[in-house]
Structure 1
Amino acid sequence: MNAHILSIASCATSLSPGQDIRLFPSGSFSAVDGRPGALEGTKITAWKIDAQTAARVIADFQGKARDLVIDYEHQSMYAVDNGLPAPAAGWIKNLLWQEGTGLLARVEWTARAAEMIRSGEYRYISPTFSFDPKTGAVTALLNAALTNNPALPGLGEVLARYFPPTKKEQDTVSLAAIAQALALAETASEQEIVTALTAMQSRMEKAEAMLLSTVTSRGNIY
């Protein structure tokens, strides 16, 4: 059994530029679908974080001696597979424990992300973390993402799903990201995406042919 299991959590804490954001609530927390109890390799019914646990998480963060990235929709995890950019939305500069509230992150947002948060385009934070499968204690924060799909709307708890995602989950995320890049609906089918890509390739080939024809007629081929 692995010493630590990774999870992604969607925290429904509303965001606002310039304020500390809560990553985890103080005490025990679990998801409405039974996780982490439903996760393979665990026998726990809840995740946990208290002052002592938080101190270790903070020490681990400080030991990395670098800021942790906050991206958009966890694209950093899928960039290798889908080939799309994974720009930073912000950087976690520091972690703080607030008794009775939980683990907070002090964030330096990019100008773009700050504007998107102010305008309501993004509202929630989703941390990626590791935890002890025997105790449920959070052991390290790995990164986080802006999201609009919180697990428990209106609450400060989290919903974690097993990490790494299955091949099916990876494909779903990849298709959604590709659809967005093609200006299609995120729910576009695989066939719709293939059709759009084929049309794009056709347009590019026609444009290249026109350009080649133009420069050839002028006697200048570079």
Structure 2
Amino acid sequence: MRGHSDRMIHTDASPPRLALCHAVSATAIGEAIALNLEGEALPDWVMVAPAGPVLRGADGRMFKIADPAALVAATMARGLKLPIDINHAQFLKAPRGEESPAAGWIEELQARDGAVWGRVDWTESGRAALAARSYRYLSPALLHDDKGAVAAIAGAGLVNRPNFSMPALNAHQENDMDKELLKKLGLPETASLADVLAALEKMQTSLNATQTPALSLYVPRADYDAVLARATGAEAALNAAAEGDRKAKAAALVEQAVKDGKIAPATRDFYIGLCATEAGLAEVTKFVGLQPSVFTPSNIGKTEPATQVALNADRKAAALAMGLDEKAFAEFLAAQPAA
């Protein structure tokens, strides 16, 4: 951009302004991403630049990342690894000939949900600084024009005074526990937060469907128990009615068979017992239908008494002369055929 003086701007909360000459654009150093290790393993992937498109610093300045994928492509086009130093020494100390050793090297960049992530190969000094928690934030060095449009990422630094008001990146997001969680969710280790949330939402939807099943397939247990109790009661009533009807039919069948002489009166209870089931009742009914009348019904108690003959004085005298009982003599006379 001809006619404009390019500059490197350190974007700490209270940054010193340094006039450094670059060919095309200025460098903005944004301290935004926390690396809270708490004794955990160092992350392989870290957030290098937070999601935009507008990045607002605590000091009021703004930067724009319109297309994260294009930014990644432009940055990696040179084919160089991006250095991570301490307090942006590569821009503040190296120009003065001072040491600016790398704490790590960004070997790969990816655009994820508007943010830019980098795969880091940490150096021993970087590991030591983070393990001791001497530094806890990652600050990107952004190449931008005078309007704040970011054209490339020049590197990053480990710092302690963040400027961007963005969520912190904690190292535990990349530890073994979270890798196992991603595996359980069926997601790759490079999955973004949005991918995780989408997988959890899907699981929640499935769980809700299980907890609230379709009424065409399931009914509440209370309703089921009520219907079952009603059905059981109705079935018991029907069985009782059927049992009473069967017993009545069995009694009537056996009694008629006795009257018809097809079975002996003494076997009445035996045949009643055979009719204890519908199948038994059917068998007895079939037997009685085929059985001839073989028993003569008893007339005991049904014989009409003989006609009594009244004895006159002569007959009483004859009975007395023959030594006969008057009643027996009267019955004898009654049994004689009429003359």
Q: Check whether TM > 0.5.
A: yes
- Counterpart of 2:65 in structure 1 is 49
- Counterpart of 2:44 in structure 1 is 19
Structure 1: distance between partners of 2:48 and 2:75: 14
Deviation at 1:80, TM superposition (A): 4.5
Deviation at 1:107, TM superposition (A): 0.7
- Counterpart of 1:117 in structure 2 is 130
- Decide whether the 8 Å contact of 2:141 with 2:155 is kept in 1: yes
- Decide whether the 8 Å contact of 1:13 with 1:154 is kept in 2: no
Unaligned segments of structure 1, at least 5 residues:
36-45, 158-222
Note closer, same or farther for the CA distance 1:60–1:122 as it changes in structure 2 (3 Å cut).
same
Question: More helix per residue: 1 or 2?
Answer: 2
Identity fraction in percent: 29
Deviation at 1:153, TM superposition (A): 7.3
Deviation at 1:55, TM superposition (A): 1.8
Aligned length: 143
Deviation at 1:152, TM superposition (A): 5.0
Most deviating of 69-78 and 102-111: 69-78
- Counterpart of 2:77 in structure 1 is 63
The counterpart of 1:9, out of the listed 30, 34, 45, is 30
- Counterpart of 2:322 in structure 1 is none
- Decide whether the 8 Å contact of 2:30 with 2:164 is kept in 1: no
Deviation at 1:156, TM superposition (A): 4.5
- Counterpart of 1:171 in structure 2 is none
Larger Cα-atom Rg: 2
Structure 1: distance between partners of 2:165 and 2:55: 15
Structure 2: distance between partners of 1:145 and 1:58: 18
Deviation at 1:24, TM superposition (A): 1.8
Query: 3-state SS of the aligned residue for 1:64?
Result: coil
Pairs within 5 Å for 1:146-165: 146-151=158-163, 155-156=167-168
What letter is aligned with 1:5? A
Structure 2: distance between partners of 1:138 and 1:13: 21
Structure 2: distance between partners of 1:146 and 1:24: 13
Question: More strand per residue: 1 or 2?
Answer: 1
- Counterpart of 1:140 in structure 2 is 152
Query: 3-state SS of the aligned residue for 2:118?
Result: strand
Deviation at 1:138, TM superposition (A): 1.7
Note closer, same or farther for the CA distance 1:10–1:107 as it changes in structure 2 (3 Å cut).
same
- Counterpart of 2:60 in structure 1 is 34
- Counterpart of 2:204 in structure 1 is none
What letter is aligned with 2:45? D
Structure 2: distance between partners of 1:142 and 1:103: 13
Deviation at 1:97, TM superposition (A): 0.9
Q: Cα RMSD (Å) of the superposition? A: 2.5
Note closer, same or farther for the CA distance 1:59–1:152 as it changes in structure 2 (3 Å cut).
closer
Output one character per residue of 1:47-103: Cα deviation in whole Å (capped at 9) or x when no partner.
Answer: 2225xx222221122211121111111112233554421111100001111115x11
Structure 2: distance between partners of 1:56 and 1:78: 28
- Decide whether the 8 Å contact of 2:94 with 2:100 is kept in 1: no
Unaligned segments of structure 2, at least 5 residues:
5-23, 170-339
Query: 3-state SS of the aligned residue for 1:26?
Result: coil
Note closer, same or farther for the CA distance 1:119–1:49 as it changes in structure 2 (3 Å cut).
same
What letter is aligned with 1:49? I
With structure 1 as the length reference, what TM-score do the two structures score? 0.56
- Counterpart of 1:189 in structure 2 is none
- Counterpart of 1:195 in structure 2 is none
Query: 3-state SS of the aligned residue for 2:73?
Result: helix
Structure 2: distance between partners of 1:144 and 1:60: 16
Structure 1: distance between partners of 2:25 and 2:98: 29
- Decide whether the 8 Å contact of 1:25 with 1:156 is kept in 2: no
Task: Tell me which of the two structures has the higher relative contact order, counting C-alpha pairs closer than 8 angstroms and 6 or more residues apart.
Answer: 1
- Counterpart of 2:259 in structure 1 is none
